[in-house]
Amino acid sequence: MIAAGSEDRLDDRDPAGAEVISQVFIYRKALRNTLWIGPIAGVIHLLPSLYILTFVALHLINWGVARFSMTLLRRPEDGILLGYVSIMFTCGAALVVCRLSFKGQPWNSLQVSYWSMAILLSIMVLSPCCIMAPFFLFMFLEVRECYLAGRFLVNKGFDLRNLPDY
């Protein structure tokens, strides 16, 4: 058992074990942030896109599929916007669902959270809220840190639900 505050002496003992212990510490620290970042980023993207998609669905009901399709053919930028909003909705919903399912499947939830955040960050350039890109970059880097530490631990054979105490 290694006492608290002795992380600087871990490399003197066993380099392979020290790396595992270091990754467990990194994973636990990043997990605290990741568990609240995912739902916040999800809701930030879910609510506006849900409003827009509801508006589109109501127009689709009123206009019919044929007229709506013709409108998209005449104005392809609306189709691109609709695709963008659909991606926002899907990634936002995935982030919220990942937080809800984290207890049962932590590794799968981390993978989906990481890739959803990566997609959201990459399409942030087109977003009307691109002024928030540094905030989303911070959130993505926190999720990435947790994902990389979790991937290392899973590759070493650890179960993320019950990690050993160090």
Model confidence, pTM: 0.78
Q: Which residues contact 143 (CB under 8 A, 6 or more apart)?
A: 30, 34, 37, 38, 110, 113, 114, 117
Are 42 and 53 in contact by the 8 Å Cβ rule? The answer is no
* 107-162: pLDDT as tens digits: 999 999 999 999 988 887 766 667 777 888 888 999 999 999 999 999 988 888 88
pLDDT above 70 for 28? yes
Find where tokens 């827009």 sit.
52
Name the domain count of the chain.
Answer: 1
Please indicate, yes or no, if residue 115 is contained in any of the structural domains: yes
Domain that holds residue 147: 16-154
Q: Which long-range contacts (CB under 8 A, 24 or more apart) does 64-73 make?
A: none
Please indicate, yes or no, if residue 164 is contained in any of the structural domains: no
Please indicate, yes or no, if residue 130 is contained in any of the structural domains: yes
